[in-house]
Amino acid sequence: MKKSFFLSISLLLVAVGFFTSCKSSLNPLASDYIKVQPQPLELVAEKVPVTINATFPAEWFNKKASLTVTPVLRYDGGEAKGTSYNYQGEKVSGNGQVIPQKEGANVVMKSEFDYTPEMQNSQLYLTFNAAIGKKQVTLPDVKIGDGVLATAALLNAASENPAIAADNFQRIIKEAHDANIMFLIQQAELRANEMKKSELADWNNLVKNANADPKQNVNVEISSYASPDGGYKLNEKLAEKREANTERYLAKELKKAKVDVPVNARYTAQDWDGFKELVEKSNIQDKDLILRVLSMYSDSEQREREIKNISAVYSALAEEILPQLRRSRLTANIEIIGKTDEEILSLAVSNPSALNVEELLYGGHLASQIQAKGIIYKKATELFANDPRGFNNLGVVEFIKGNMSEAESLFNKAKQLKGNIPEANFNLGLTSLIKGDKQKAEQYFGNAAGVSGLDNARGYLAVLNGNYTQAEKAFSTASNNAAIAQILAKDYSKAMNTLNAVERPDATTYYLKAIVGARTNNLDEIVNNLKESIALDSTKASQALRDLEFVKYITNGKFLSAVTK
């Protein structure tokens, strides 16, 4: 009895085999029995996945046949094997999927290959290991696909902006210096012993010196108070007299010192705020009860009555707290005007030791040339060796220059110093991405909270994980990488807007615009942008000729004129 074994698996008119009990033969069958998804294959999450749907027609699978099918992706210099699938006839004892001879069956084979750049120019085959009983049957490999679409591979961590650690330079530093003139209970006269206090003399000299310094501005405030005991009307008059007497005294002292500065005077009848602050800082018995009274009542007279009713502590308040509130406070508000940008830049080069760390780091920010930035940040690491920011920022310079090993070393040095600044962790995350260590990058980014580029880094990782919609939402600034995420998410309008907004477009920027043109069937966009890209980087010509994004245009004269000389 003659039995036949047939396998239908084909793309573009391929041949498959059939078996009999006495012989085997290979006959061409229609390509309708196999479908490959996606077509072409595409790089996703650093892998090249493929799903093969095949049909074994009725009466084609020999009951004694065994068949192992393996997808193989072949490229110049190597090949990658996918998952093997085992199928067997109804009379075979084994672990393969049984294919009924009479009915046939539909099967699904899924595989993925670890991506390498050579796979862009590749061919996908199915290979077979077949037997009928104990007799091996040779079947030819069947080609079922061409090439890998690898637009995701255009991601480039080196194009992301590394994070500069900020300086705390302030052009104008504001300082407030206080001195107090104390008064006796229910009195507003300035006492001689108060006027002779060293605190007051030092304050007067401070104002005089600030006024004389061309890089300082100064103004003065007088705040006079009465303690919140004795009734509001009495205290209001008392505080007003204290303010007037203090203002006359200060005017005399300023005139004697030949100081002309703005003076603003005011008084507060009952200093409940000061009272509360002093009570909170004290160790007075039942202070919580006193504070509760303040929160429960807003009327000053009722507050005073309730507090006096707490007889156990009122004497302590009268001795420790209330005397400190009978005062006039003199405040010198001084603005110290720092060095100009020109002065800082000049000193950063000629005499960096004349600058403090904030000024020197600010000088690095001011420098327009990358070489000059490197010199200034290098000096910061020498003069302020315990500050991680100099090492981090020097690492950023090396990163931009493409010296990734030196950059990583400097970022690690910054990370090891006290403070472990988030910028160093972020930058180490970028260097980890460049080295292909996604897991390490995720760890570093997890310790980089607050760094401005973190959204982009998360978008980058989402692309690597194949989460294109998430990636598209994560990117917060216009960049080549953000546009790649949008292209992969098939939001071509948004991708083109992003590419048009890239601050410093490069060869990849224009290449990506050409890809958007290809995906939207716009030949002019393809040609014009490829010309721009190739003008900046001649290797983009051969890249475009290999790229499946442009496969539809490979014979187009305008396209060929753009990519060939």
Neighbour tally for 116: CB within 10 Å: 17
Neighbour tally for 280: CB within 10 Å: 12
pLDDT above 60: residue 212: yes
CA–CA separation, 34 and 55 (whole Å): 7
413 phi, psi to nearest 5 deg: -60, -45
Residues 6+ apart with CB under 8 A from 514: 525, 526, 527, 529, 530, 533, 544, 549, 550
Q: Which stretch of 39-48, 272-281, 288-297, 429-438 has the lowest confidence by average pLDDT?
A: 288-297
CA–CA separation, 47 and 111 (whole Å): 10
Reported as a single tens digit per residue, the pLDDT across 50-71 is: 999 998 888 878 899 999 999 9
pLDDT above 60: residue 3: no
Given this model, what pLDDT does residue 31 score? 60
**Parallel, antiparallel, or unpaired: how do β-strands 148-149 and 41-42 relate?**
parallel
Task: Give the dihedral sign, CA 364/157/430/469.
Answer: positive
Reported as a single tens digit per residue, the pLDDT across 400-449 is: 999 999 999 999 999 999 877 999 999 999 999 999 999 999 999 999 99
Whether the bond into 38 is cis, omega within 30 of 0: yes
Given this model, what pLDDT does residue 62 score? 87
* Percentage above 90 pLDDT, the chain: 78
- Long-range own/partner contacts, residues 193-200 (CB < 8 A, 24 or more apart): 195/249, 200/330
- Long-range own/partner contacts, residues 188-197 (CB < 8 A, 24 or more apart): 188/238, 188/241, 188/242, 188/245, 189/245, 190/245, 190/246, 190/249, 195/249
pLDDT above 50: residue 12: no
CA–CA separation, 134 and 87 (whole Å): 15
pLDDT above 70: residue 8: no
Average pLDDT over residues 14-29: 35
What pTM, to 2 d.p., does this model score? 0.76
Given this model, what pLDDT does residue 15 score? 34
Given this model, what pLDDT does residue 317 score? 87
| Ordered alpha helix ranges (H), 435-553 | 438-446, 454-464, 468-474, 480-488, 492-501, 507-519, 523-536, 539-546
Asked if 478 contacts 504 with a C-beta cutoff of 8 angstroms, the reply is no
Our CA angle for 132, 136, 142, nearest 5°, is 95
Asked if 367 contacts 397 with a C-beta cutoff of 8 angstroms, the reply is no
Domains present along the chain, CATH in parentheses: 5-149 (2.60.40), 172-337 (3.30.1330.60)
Given this model, what pLDDT does residue 1 score? 34
The three-class DSSP label of residue 76 is coil
Given this model, what pLDDT does residue 57 score? 82
Q: Give the amino acid at 356.
A: N
- Mean pLDDT, the chain, as a whole number? 90
pLDDT above 80: residue 18: no
Asked if 457 contacts 476 with a C-beta cutoff of 8 angstroms, the reply is no
Taking Cα atoms as reference points, which of 334, 68, 321 lies closest to residue 176?
Answer: 334
4 band by pLDDT with thresholds 50, 70 and 90: very low
CA–CA separation, 176 and 445 (whole Å): 40
Q: Which stretch of 25-29, 487-491, 514-518, 543-547 has the lowest confidence by average pLDDT?
A: 25-29
CA–CA separation, 474 and 498 (whole Å): 14
Given this model, what pLDDT does residue 22 score? 33
* Percentage above 70 pLDDT, the chain: 94
Reported as a single tens digit per residue, the pLDDT across 311-329 is: 667 788 888 899 999 999 9
Taking Cα atoms as reference points, which of 372, 371, 370 lies closest to residue 346?
Answer: 372
Q: Give the amino acid at 466.
A: G
Given this model, what pLDDT does residue 29 score? 37
- Long-range own/partner contacts, residues 509-513 (CB < 8 A, 24 or more apart): 509/480, 509/483, 509/533, 510/536, 511/154, 511/540, 511/543, 511/544, 512/154, 512/480, 512/483, 512/484, 512/487
Reported as a single tens digit per residue, the pLDDT across 464-502 is: 999 999 999 999 999 999 999 999 999 999 999 999 999
Residues 6+ apart with CB under 8 A from 454: 426, 445, 448
What are the DSSP E strand ranges found in 166-276?
172-182, 216-225, 263-268
